[in-house]
Structure 1
Amino acid sequence: ESFSPPQLSVLNATNDQQQTVQIFLQKQQRSIGVPVGQSILMALENEGIAHPSGCRMGLCNTCACGKISGTTQHLISGDQQHDADSALRVCVSTAQNDLILDI
Structure 2
Amino acid sequence: MCCTPSLGKELLRVSDAESLATRFKAVADPNRLRILSIISSSPDAETCVCDLSEPLGLGQPTVSHHLKILVDAGLLNREKRGVWAYYSLVPGPLDSLAATLVCSS
Asked whether the two chains share a fold, i.e. TM above 0.5, the reply is no
Per the shorter chain, which TM-score range? 0.3 to 0.5
**Bigger CA radius of gyration:** 2
Structure number with higher helix proportion: 2
TM-score for the superposition, normalised by structure 2: 0.33
Greater per-residue strand proportion: 1
